[in-house]
Amino acid sequence: RAKRQGKNTVCFFNAGMDRAVRDRRTLENDLRRAVESDGIALAYQPVLSVETGQITSAEALARWTHPSRGAISPETFISLAEESGLIDRLGDQLLRRACTDARDWPSHVRVAVNLSPLQFVSGGLVGRIRSVLEEVGLEADRLQLEVTEGLMIRDVERTFGQLEQLRGLGMQVLIDDFGVGYSSLSYFQRFSFDKVKIDKSFVDTIATSHTSRAIVQSVVELGRKLGMGVVAEGVETEEQMRLLLECGCTHLQGYLFSRPIAADAIRHLLARDSGSADHTVDLATTGV
Ligand code: C2E
Ligand code: MG
Ligand code: MG
Ligand code: MG
């Protein structure tokens, strides 16, 4: 009897594993189909300059609405794309879309595109970005590339080499989610980032933690000395904004100013933001 029960348990366990594997495979197939039909969308979140109060860039953030499961988080489908070999194709597609959308924006506004570490592996990235810019007709200096620190643990020299080339072509390179993960200050010895994006976790706690505030201050100081702007991401409250301004952050981004919005909406917002010479977004007003 015990033997039989054991056997059943094993069968049940296997069935559970089978289902998990099947679910994953199904989602992967759905993602492949979505990529093939150009079905992954982009939302854009503005980034404001502290100095001028104006929007100086907008970050492109991938969005997938699954036909039956609804919205799937980018963390989930980007890592699925990375694991299933879809990331190069998806990355190219999103880059092309972001550049095409940005062509309609005022020329002082840049578009920021997030890159997966895996997009640096094949070796063809620099050439592909170049031809996208050429085909779309967007100047290289309108494009910002956001890379994470996780990037660096893969093949450091190869990756920095490609980033160097991209920067040489006129693109800005930003280090994203700075201060979490595999942070190493030695990256700054090997590569000149244009901007540092301080991870949201420090912004979240800046009003309650002296440590967070000290870290933000130090990153700003480092940025000043190395000629890098410092962007605070995930700013949600006026209190956080006040402290970040006090620390000397050069750029702010977060729900306090705007959530990520559709391409049409950002185009209208940008037209309004730069419509009159002296109109600027008031840093103290919520809900742009
Ligand atoms: P990230 O690049 O660090 O993007 C910032 C994330 O914080 C976005 O989440 C954004 O919607 C969210 N955020 C911004 N301001 C606030 C705020 O005030 N409060 C809160 N609670 N959240 C805020 P999202 O869009 O879910 O993206 C998550 C991550 O997925 C991104 O982090 C990025 O690592 C990755 N991702 C998104 N789109 C792409 C893409 O096109 N390519 C790649 N490779 N990764 C992407
Ligand atoms: Mg980012
Ligand atoms: Mg970030
Ligand atoms: Mg992040």
Q: Which residues surround ligand 2, an ion (CB under 5 A)?
A: 114, 146, 176
- Write the CB contacts of 63 (distance below 8 Å, at least 6 apart in sequence): 40, 41, 42, 43, 71, 74, 260
**235 Cα nearest atom in ligand 1:** 18
How big is the chain by its Cα radius of gyration, in Å?
21
CA distance 263 to 98: 9
Mean pLDDT of 74-103: 97
Contact by Cβ (8 Å): 111, 266 = no
Indicate which ligand has the atom closest to the C-alpha of 204: 1
pLDDT reading at 195 higher than 70? yes
Mean pLDDT of 8-31: 78
Q: What pTM did the predictor assign? A: 0.91
Counting ligand 1 atoms within 8 A of each CB, the residue from 38, 99, 114 with the most, and so the one to mutate, is: 114
Q: What is the pLDDT of residues 278-288, one digit of tens each?
A: 434 455 443 43
**62 Cα nearest atom in ligand 1:** 38
CA distance 219 to 223: 6
In this structure, which residue's CA is closest to atom 16 in ligand 1? 234
CA distance 105 to 269: 10
Please give the structure tokens belonging to residue 204. Answer: 């979240």
CA distance 211 to 214: 5
Global ipTM: 0.98
Beta-carbon count within 10 A of 63 CB: 16
The two most distant CA atoms of the chain are separated, in Å, by: 84
Chain centroid offset of residue 65 CA: 18
43 has which bridge partners? Answer: 61
d(CA 209, ligand 2 centre) in Å: 24
Ligand 1 touching residue 41 (CB < 6 A): no
